[in-house]
Every structure is written in C-alpha cells, then in structure tokens.
Amino acid sequence: MKIILIRPAFGLAAVALMFYGLSAGPQEKMVPIQIELPKPMFIGTPANLRVPNLEKPLGKPRPPFLAPEGTLNLALGKPVTSTDDYPIIGELEMITDGDKDAADGSYVELGPFLQHVTIDLGQPSEIFALVVWHFHKQPLVYFDFVIQIAGDPDFTQHAVVIYNNDYDDTAQLGAGTDNNYVETAEGRLVDAKGHIGRYVRLYSNGNTSNDLNHYIEVEIYGRPAE
Amino acid sequence: MSDKKSPAPDPASGNPASRDPASRSSEPRIIGRSEFIRTSATVVGGLLLVPKSLPGSPRTGRPGNDLNIALLGTGAQGQVLLSSILKIPAVRVTAVCDIWTAYNQRRVSRLLQKYGHEHRTYEDYREMLAKESDLDAVIIATPDFWHEAHTVDALAAGLDVYCEKEMSNTLEGARNMARAAKKAGRLLQIGHQRRSNPRYQHCYEKLIRDAGLFGRFTTVNGQWNRSVQPDLGWPKKAVIDKAVLKKYGYDDMHQFRNWRWFKGLGGGPVVDLGSHQIDIYNWFLDAPPSSVSAVGGTDYYEPRTHQWYDNVQALYEYKTAQGTVRAFYQVITTNRNGGYFEIFMGDQGTLEISESAGRGSLYREDHAPLWDHWVKKGYLKSPQEEATPAGAILDVRETLAPAAYSLPFEMTEPYHKPHLENFFDAIRGKAELNCPAEIGYETAVTVLKANDAVASGRNLAFKPADFRI
C-alpha cells in the first residue's frame, strides 16, 4: 500500500488519498498485449518543435508490453465525458471507437487550453497499460499530459497519477517529471502498474501547433477487478 | 513556439459561448452575434460590392487600430493561419467562408466561438463580399486555381488581401492578381512566410548583405523530402453535394480533397513545397534565374489521381552581379530522409538554413577571413567545443568537417505569425509588405517553369520580360 498526494483539477486543495498498487501475481502467465497500430501519416508543414524535456525518438518499434494473459482493451465502446462537451470537430465517442486512423472524421478536436476527457470503464478494473493517440498526422507534442485513475468520477477515491509531463505545473495538478514526446502512429504506452480504478482521466493543454487538444483513440488494457 | 504553452488554465475556456449549429446552407449564419447589420451596397460588375474606401485611403478608425478580417478557405492551411491569427492582438475574424460547410467551415466556426470571435459563415465568397460591410481584409487559403478570382474580387471590394502561395496555378492568373492590387490601390501579400521569418531576414540583411560572410555564391542546394502519404479522405457524414462540388470546379470529393495533385487545380509538390524554398533562392541571390532544366514524373503514385509529378529535380542557373550561380532543388514524396533545407555555398563560406527551428548552421572556408569580428558583433555564434571521443581516429582521407557556427537567436513563434503580423502592420500603415504581389509573381514565374521544364524535357530560358507584370 502506498500513499500519494495529488491535487485535484482546477485548483482545489490538496488532499491525501490512498490507493492500492496492485500487479499481476508472480504465478500468472504474462503475454504481450496486442496493439493494432494505424498507418503513419505525417503531412503538412512541420510545426516549430522547441520543447523542453523532449524525449528522443526510440528509432525502432516499442518493445512488447507484458500483461497477464486475458488482458483486454477495456475502453472500447465505453462512454467518454469531457470539460469540452461541444467539440470543435468530431465527437467524444471517437475516443473509444477503435478507429485509430489520423484522417479527418476519425478524431475529436477539443477546445483550447487545459481540457480533460474521462473514460468510465463501468466497473472497477485492474489496469496494466494505457495507449493514447492524441493526433499523429503531424509531429506534435501535447503539453501538460496528465493521466489519473480513480474509483469515482470526482477523482477523490483511490486516485493516482500514472503520467505527468507538466514539469512546471502549468495545469496546477502538481508538477510532473515524465517526458514530453512527439506523437507518432505508435501512440504513447503508459505503464499503469496494475492500479485499480473505474475512471480514467486524461488532461492536455494544447500542443506545439496550436492551443487545441485532440484525441484519436485511448486504449486501456486491463481486466475487471476481482 | 514559446518555451512553454498556453496561458493559465481556465476551466470555463472550453465551454462554448453558444450552441449555434454549423451552417449547412449558403445563407450567412450569424455566430455569437444577436443582430446581423446590413448596410447599403452597390452593384458592381454583377457583384454586390461594398466599397470600403477609396484606393489608398486610410483604414477605418476603430479603437486601437482593430482590424476585421475574413477567412476565405478553412482547410488545413486556413487552420494553420488561423492558429497564428488567434495569437495576434487587435485582429478579429468576423467572417468565414468555405464550401465544405459540414466539416472545415463548421470546425473553424466552432473554434472561433471558443475564442470569442463573433462571426458569420458563408459558402459563397461573393455573398460574403457583398454582405460584409465592415471588413478590412481577407485571408485567402483556398486551392490555387481559386486564388485569382478570390483575390481580384476581394480587391475590387476595397479590401486588402493576404493570399496563400502559390499565387496562382497560372501566370495569367498571378498577373491579373498583381494588376488588380495596383488598380485598387490595395495591399496584396503572398504567403511566402519565410520572407518575414526573422532568421531568414537576419541571414539576408546581416550575413549576406552587410557582412558578406560567404563571399561570392556559386552553388545552391535545397530539398524537401517527404514520406509516402495516402490520399486524403473525408468523413462519410460530411460529403459535399455533387452539384456544389461541380459549381466550385471539382469532379468529386476525392478531387476536392486532393486538388494539389490535379492539373488545372494545383501545381504538385514542386509548387506546394518547392515554391517556399525557391523563393529564397531568388531572394538571397538578389536575382531571378536565367534558365531552368528539370526532370521528374509521377513514378510512384497512381497517375490518374496524381497528375502532377511526385518527384522533381530542377537545376536553375542565375546570372548574378557576382557571377553565375547554379541552384539545385529536389522534391520527393517517397522518403523523408534529410527533410527540408536550403544551402547557399560561397567561396568563403556556407549557409545552411531551414524553416525548421532546429537547423541553421554556418561554415567558414579555411582560407576566408576569420569571423571573430562578426561573432563579437552578434551576427553569429561561435561553434560549440566538442570533446573528441577517447580513442577517436581521424581518417585523413576525408575532408575535415568544418566548425559549425550558428545563428544568434531562435525562431520561437509559429512560422506564419510574423508574415501575418507584417500584413496587418502594413494595413495600419506601420510597415511595408515583405512579400507583395511583385515578389510573389516573380516566384510564381520561377517555380511554375520547373513543371514546364519537366514536361518539355528541355532547358528553358527566362527572359527579363517574363518577370514583369
């Protein structure tokens, strides 16, 4: 059991929350999760990419991520809510519709500045990994990318931060130490370390091209919690 | 790009000011405004044109020199420009026009709502020009074959115009645009945005003209290498009616979305990409070219849907005041290696420059005078010392790599923002255009001829008269 401090969204007072960091048992068979990747499609004039803490591209395919056998994408078809329920283009349902293409009609564009989307998995789940495709049609970097998992929609129960690249705490969610990275068709895989939660929330705060926020797809690999 | 990101988060910022549905008809829609103010109009040449002011007269006297602009063309490039416009103070987007009302127009309209820009939406630009009585300028980001009509009509309506490159897909069209600007006494800025990029301006004004750092230019080399790309698609729920497509010059949705590849609509990769860079050749060499040879073809993609060449290798010859310069340019669409850059090689040094913020190096020839004076003057930065790896062996059969000097500052803004700011400052009478119609025309003559050279298989000469409007 660990104790972690997180500051809930939008400047509320910091609270101490407890969560259980669970992982697969030692006797379980671990297998690579099967991630179907979309076609790469960089087009257009590249954006100005001067970003602090920018991770160097791996230059080769991401190594397989192992999870207990039977792990599935729990997010597929699950409901999504957002701070922007009137997207600029696309619908929130696109985030969990299984379509990872970067073409027009396959992504949702949310309003400027800090926004978040929340996926309700429908039941408490043991989550091993997230894979996030913001937008891979251009080599963009999304700022203040923060992922939280919690047991309730207000993110007050068993809430945990599993990724945070907001190094200067612009989003006022607490400063993070994870890297900025360039979006690619491979998506960003984040190790969720078996944390249990029903709700997954993803923040972002614009990108290197504009102030807007995009999602093509979010996959959440896990299994229902026992 | 700024060191980091957006203003302090505002939880309400993402919430729309209103829920006006997207326009799906040609009727103008008032977005975020309770009343559509109509004013008197005059019928000119079959169009309802609202004369804003006499040619060359002062702009409207709004507080703080605020400008009202229309965005004509809300596709990918229009959205790129809008991203910069939204960061420029005292500029309001009050009208938006695009024929793809169910997607791109809707997208930009909603974006403007998020930023609090009250605006109206149109499908037909003529209707917009007729009904919008309080515009100062139009930003045109439509397909190349529409640039002439859109620009000429906007100028005739008394508006200043920023038109994306290529100025036109035909020289006749580009010439008509330049003449229309002169006749109307209005501004016409062509979207070669490197002309306003402070890094490029520094290279030209300080390093080339003032310091003469590179000596006599003899050779130029540039490229834009891009990976294989699938054709652009479209959401099936947002198909444009066939009659509307036909009205605006498209056979079908595929052609509408992929117009850049079609003859009669665009100019292909050497125009879409090369134009930006070949424009720099003319600028930095202070001369238009005297001839061009080129090879190329549609060798990789389906020729039926990719009528323009998917690769071009062109060789321009320039007769400059200092002597002959040969300038190679390559565009390919099957491999991104090396990216995009321009290299100017003189007998005393080399300038390697790119719009990409991460590239910009200068190399001194060994026999050239030292550059210390220019370093002290702030024109360039000294090479950074690099430690020699332990056990490194220098292969004396190869030329020793010269030390790389660098430019003294970085470009930290979106690439198009300075060029748009230059345009808006020119409207306010505070600046001269960095790329007026005459320059845009010269570049169009230079670039469109590369396609002609591929088609003819011959070396084509430019006459001085070719560059005169």
Is B23 part of a structural domain of the chain?
Answer: no
- CA A66 to chain B, closest CA, distance in angstroms equals 32
Give the residue on A whose Cα is nearest the Cα of B232.
Answer: A103
Give the residue on A whose Cα is nearest the Cα of B82.
Answer: A210
Q: Are residues B62 and B159 in the same domain?
A: yes
**Distance set, CA B90 to CA B57, B77, B81 (Å):** 20, 22, 16
d(CA B210, CA B37) in angstroms, rounded, equals: 53
Q: Are residues B297 and B176 in the same domain?
A: no
Cα angle B414, B415, B417 (rounded to 5 degrees) comes to 70
In this prediction, residue B37 carries a pLDDT of 26
- CA B366 to chain A, closest CA, distance in angstroms equals 32
In this prediction, residue B356 carries a pLDDT of 83
d(CA B35, CA B120) in angstroms, rounded, equals: 11
Q: What is the pTM of this model?
A: 0.85
In this prediction, residue A173 carries a pLDDT of 95
Buried b (16+ CB within 10 A) or exposed e, A127-157: bbbbbbbbbbbbbbbbbbbbbbbbbeeebee
Of A127, A190, A112, A203, residue with least CA distance to A158: A127
In this prediction, residue A218 carries a pLDDT of 98
Does A170 contact B1 at a Cβ distance shorter than 8 Å? no
| Residue that terminates a domain, selected from B155, B186, B217 | B186
Q: How many structural domains comprise chain B? A: 2
Does B4 contact A143 at a Cβ distance shorter than 8 Å? yes
Is B84 part of a structural domain of the chain?
Answer: yes
pLDDT in tens, chain B (469 residues): 334 544 333 333 333 333 333 333 344 555 543 322 222 222 222 333 333 444 444 455 566 689 999 999 999 999 999 999 999 999 999 999 999 999 999 999 999 999 999 999 999 999 999 999 999 999 999 999 999 999 999 999 999 999 999 999 999 999 999 999 999 999 999 999 999 999 999 999 999 999 999 999 999 999 999 989 889 999 999 999 999 999 999 999 999 999 999 999 999 999 999 999 999 999 999 999 999 999 999 999 999 999 999 999 999 999 999 999 999 999 999 998 999 999 999 999 999 999 987 789 999 999 999 999 999 999 999 998 665 566 666 565 666 678 999 999 988 889 999 999 999 999 999 999 999 999 999 999 999 999 999 999 999 999 999 999 9
Does A83 contact B5 at a Cβ distance shorter than 8 Å? no
- CA B339 to chain A, closest CA, distance in angstroms equals 10
Q: Are residues B60 and B99 in the same domain?
A: yes
Q: Are residues B178 and B301 in the same domain?
A: no
Give the residue on A whose Cα is nearest the Cα of B414.
Answer: A48
Question: What residues of B are in contact with residue A212 (Cβ under 8 Å)?
Answer: 111
CB A203 within 8 A of CB A86: no
CB neighbourhood size of B466 (10 A): 14
Question: What residues of B are in contact with residue A104 (Cβ under 8 Å)?
Answer: 103, 232-235, 238
Question: What residues of B are in contact with residue A39 (Cβ under 8 Å)?
Answer: 230
Q: Are residues B119 and B251 in the same domain?
A: no
User: And the tokens for A72?
Assistant: 């599935």
Sheet containing strand B29-31, strands side by side: B29-31, B119-122, B91-97, B67-72, B137-140, B160-163, B188-190
Question: What residues of A are in contact with residue B226 (Cβ under 8 Å)?
Answer: 43
Candidates B1, B3, B5: best to mutate against A (most CBs of A within 10 A) is: B5
Does A86 contact B414 at a Cβ distance shorter than 8 Å? no
Candidates B2, B3, B6: best to mutate against A (most CBs of A within 10 A) is: B6
Is B119 part of a structural domain of the chain?
Answer: yes
**B107 versus A17: which is more confidently predicted?**
B107
Which of B11, B235, B415 lies nearest to residue A45, judging by beta carbons?
B415
Does B111 contact A10 at a Cβ distance shorter than 8 Å? no
| DSSP summary character for residue B65 | G
The 10s digit of each residue's pLDDT in A166-200 is: 999 999 999 999 999 999 999 999 999 999 999 99
Is B21 part of a structural domain of the chain?
Answer: no
Average pLDDT, chain A: 87
Instruction: Kindly tell me the burial class for residue A209, based on how many C-beta atoms sit within 10 Å of its own C-beta (0-12, 13-18, 19 or more).
Output: buried
CB B161 within 8 A of CB B61: no
d(CA B229, CA A138) in angstroms, rounded, equals: 12
Q: Are residues B177 and B216 in the same domain?
A: no
Q: Amino acid identity of B369?
A: P
d(CA B326, CA B68) in angstroms, rounded, equals: 44
Does B357 contact A48 at a Cβ distance shorter than 8 Å? yes
Q: Are residues B146 and B276 in the same domain?
A: no
Size of interface A-B (CB pairs under 8 A): 127
Cα angle A81, A87, A88 (rounded to 5 degrees) comes to 165
Q: At what angle do helices B171-184 and B437-456 cross, to 10 degrees?
A: 170
CA distance between the termini of chain B: 37
Does B233 contact A209 at a Cβ distance shorter than 8 Å? no
Which of B7, B19, B230 lies nearest to residue A41, judging by beta carbons?
B230
Q: Are residues B232 and B365 in the same domain?
A: yes
CB neighbourhood size of B197 (10 A): 23
Is the interface score ipTM higher than 0.85?
no
Is B392 part of a structural domain of the chain?
Answer: no
Which of B14, B237, B355 lies nearest to residue A115, judging by beta carbons?
B14
Q: Are residues B135 and B166 in the same domain?
A: yes
Of A187, A171, A74, residue with least CA distance to A126: A74
Give the residue on A whose Cα is nearest the Cα of B12.
Answer: A83
**Residues sharing a CB contact under 8 Å with residue A95, sequence separation 6 or more, in sequence order:** A80, A108, A117, A119, A215, A216, A217, A218
CB A205 within 8 A of CB A143: yes
Give the residue on B whose Cα is nearest the Cα of A115.
Answer: B14
**In terms of residues, how long is chain B?**
469
**B389 versus A141: which is more confidently predicted?**
A141
User: And the tokens for B146?
Assistant: 């529409």
**Distance set, CA B415 to CA B211, B412, B444 (Å):** 26, 9, 21
State whether residue B440 is helix, strand or coil: helix
Question: What residues of A are in contact with residue B412 (Cβ under 8 Å)?
Answer: 48, 50
**Distance set, CA B306 to CA B219, B266, B269 (Å):** 32, 11, 10
Which of B3, B10, B111 lies nearest to residue A52, judging by beta carbons?
B3
Q: Are residues B276 and B337 in the same domain?
A: yes
Q: Which domain holds residue B250?
A: 195-385+399-415+436-467
Q: At what angle do helices B106-114 and B76-85 cross, to 10 degrees?
A: 10
State whether residue B61 is helix, strand or coil: coil
d(CA B160, CA B41) in angstroms, rounded, equals: 18
User: And the tokens for A35?
Assistant: 């991630």
Q: Are residues B123 and B269 in the same domain?
A: no
Q: Are residues B204 and B170 in the same domain?
A: no
Percent of chain A with pLDDT over 70: 85
- CA A105 to chain B, closest CA, distance in angstroms equals 4
State whether residue B442 is helix, strand or coil: helix
Does A84 contact B14 at a Cβ distance shorter than 8 Å? yes
| Residue that terminates a domain, selected from B149, B166, B186 | B186
Does B111 contact A212 at a Cβ distance shorter than 8 Å? yes
Which of A44, A82, A211 lies nearest to residue B6, judging by beta carbons?
A211
Residue A77: pLDDT over 60: yes
Q: What is the CATH number of the domain that holds B451?
A: 3.30.360.10
Cα angle B259, B264, B265 (rounded to 5 degrees) comes to 25
Q: What is the CATH number of the domain that holds B96?
A: 3.40.50.720
Does A104 contact B233 at a Cβ distance shorter than 8 Å? yes
Which of A83, A205, A212 lies nearest to residue B11, judging by beta carbons?
A83
Give the residue on A whose Cα is nearest the Cα of B6.
Answer: A113
Fold of A2-44+65-224: Jelly Rolls (2.60.120)
